C-alpha cells in the first residue's frame, strides 16, 4: 500500500509544491482576515494540484505509449541514464490501467474541490468564476491528450501559461473581481513555470522530435529555446511594469526583484552555459523567491 502511494505521488508530481503558489498569492492579495478567502483559495490550490496530477498522468501515458519517455531517459549505451523512478510507467511501478484510473480520479477530485470553493464563495461573479475554472479544466489535459496541444506548434507552452494564469483568476472572480495586481502576479507565476518547462523540453527535444511533439525546443532546437527563455523573462519584467503603470506601489518592483534576478540567472545558465537541468533547478528556486517576495509585499500592503 505504501509503495503504491509513493508511485502515485510521483506520477501526480505532488513534489512540485510550487503549483500551490498561485492560490496562496491570491490569498495574500485578498487578505488573510476572512475565513471565506482562506476556504476559497485553499480549495482552489487543492483543485489545481489534482488537475495537474491528472494531466501529468495523461502526459506520462502518452509518453509511455509513443516511446518518447523511454527515448529521453535512455543513454547512449541503451541503459537508463536518468532516474526512471519519476516515471512509474517506465519503472514498472504502475500499470497502464492504474494510471488511467488515477487520471480520472484526479480530475474528479479537482472538480469536487473547485465546486466546494464556489459554494463557499459569496462574490457576485461566481458563474463567471465557474466558467473560467471549466475552461482551465478543459485546457489542462489537452497538453498531450485530446487535442494534443504539444503536438501543435508551441501548443504545449500556450496551454501551460494559460492554465496557470486561469487557476489564479477563477477564485479571484469567485470572491470579487480581478485587480491589476492579481493579473500581474498571475502572469509572474505562470511565466515562472514556463521558464522551467522550456529547460525541461530542451533536455527532451530529441525524443519529442522523433514522436512529432512540436515544443519550441523540438521545432527550433537550442537557438529557439534560448530566444524563448529571453522573451519569457522579459515578459516577467513587463508584468512588473504593468502593475506599476496601473498604480501599484513601487515597492512591488523591489519585492519582485530577487525572484526576477534569479530568473535572469536561470536564463544565463541555460543560454550561455547550456546547463539545462541546472537552469531548471534555478527556475524552481526563482519561483520560491518570487513567491516569498510577492507574499511579503501583499501582506504588508
Query: Rounded to 5 degrees, what are φ and ψ at 74?
Result: -80, 145
- Of 33, 295, 24, 298, residue with least CA distance to 179: 298
d(CA 114, CA 129): 10
**Is pLDDT of 203 > 80?**
yes
Higher-scoring residue by pLDDT: 72, 198: 198
Rounded CA separation 42/132 (Å): 17
Q: What is the mean pLDDT of residues 33-52?
A: 94
Q: What is the mean pLDDT of the chain?
A: 92
> CB neighbours (10 Å) of residue 150?
26
Residue 272 C-alpha cell reads as 550561455
Domain boundaries, the chain: 1-125
Task: Evaluate if residue 3 carries a pLDDT over 80.
Answer: no
Q: Of the spans 109-113, 144-148, 209-213, which averages the highest pLDDT?
A: 109-113
- Asked if residue 76 has pLDDT above 70, the reply is no
Q: Is the pLDDT of residue 123 over 90?
A: no
The angle at the Cα of 87, spanning 86 to 92, to the nearest 5 degrees, equals 120
Q: With helix as H, strand as E and coil as C, how does the chain read? A: CHHHHHHHHHHCCCCCHHHHHHHHHHHHHHCCCCHHHHHHHHHHHHHHHHHHHHHHHHHHHHHHHHCHHHHHHECCCCCECCCHHHCHHHHCCCCHHHHHHHHHHHHHHHHHHHHHHHHHCCCCCHHHHHHHHHHHHHHHHHHCCCCCHHHCCCHHHHHHHHHHHHHHHHHHHHHCCCCHHHHHHHHHHHHHHHHHHHHHHHHCHHHHHHHCCCCHHHHHHHHHHHHHHHHHHHHHHHHHHHHHHCCCCCHHHHHHHHHHHHHHHHHHHHHCCCCHHHHHHHHHHHHHHHHHHHHHHHHHC
pLDDT at residue 179, rounded to an integer = 95
State residue 146's pLDDT score.
85
Amino acid at each position: 500500500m505504501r509503495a503504491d502511494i509513493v508511485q502515485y505521488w510521483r506520477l501526480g508530481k505532488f513534489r512540485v509544491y510550487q503549483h500551490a503558489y498561485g492560490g496562496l498569492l491570491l490569498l495574500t492579495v485578498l487578505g488573510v482576515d476572512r475565513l471565506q478567502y482562506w476556504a476559497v483559495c485553499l480549495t482552489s490550490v487543492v483543485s489545481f494540484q489534482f488537475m495537474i496530477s491528472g494531466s501529468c498522468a495523461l502526459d506520462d501515458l502518452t509518453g509511455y505509449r509513443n516511446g518518447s519517455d523511454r527515448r529521453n531517459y535512455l543513454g547512449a549505451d541503451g541503459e537508463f541514464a536518468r532516474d526512471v523512478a519519476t516515471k512509474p510507467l517506465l519503472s514498472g511501478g504502475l500499470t497502464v490501467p492504474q494510471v488511467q484510473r488515477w487520471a480520472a480520479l484526479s480530475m474528479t477530485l479537482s472538480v469536487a474541490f473547485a465546486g466546494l470553493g464556489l459554494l463557499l464563495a459569496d462574490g457576485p461573479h461566481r458563474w463567471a468564476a465557474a466558467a473560467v475554472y471549466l475552461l482551465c479544466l478543459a485546457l489542462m489535459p489537452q497538453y498531450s491528450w485530446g487535442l494534443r496541444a504539444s503536438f501543435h506548434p508551441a501548443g504545449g507552452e500556450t496551454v501551460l501559461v494559460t492554465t496557470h494564469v486561469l487557476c489564479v483568476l477563477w477564485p479571484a472572480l469567485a470572491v470579487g473581481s480581478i485587480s491589476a495586481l492579481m493579473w500581474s502576479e498571475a502572469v509572474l507565476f505562470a511565466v515562472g513555470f514556463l521558464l522551467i518547462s522550456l529547460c525541461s523540453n530542451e533536455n527532451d527535444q530529441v525524443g519529442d522530435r522523433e514522436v512529432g511533439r512540436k515544443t519550441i525546443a523540438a521545432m527550433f532546437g537550442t537557438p529557439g529555446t534560448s530566444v524563448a527563455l529571453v522573451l519569457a523573462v522579459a515578459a516577467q519584467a513587463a508584468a512588473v511594469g504593468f502593475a506599476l503603470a496601473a498604480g501599484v506601489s513601487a515597492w512591488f518592483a523591489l519585492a519582485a526583484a530577487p525572484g526576477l534576478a534569479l530568473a535572469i540567472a536561470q536564463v544565463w545558465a541555460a543560454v550561455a552555459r547550456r546547463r539545462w537541468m541546472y537552469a531548471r533547478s534555478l527556475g524552481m528556486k526563482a519561483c520560491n523567491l518570487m513567491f516569498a517576495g510577492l507574499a511579503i509585499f501583499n501582506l504588508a500592503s
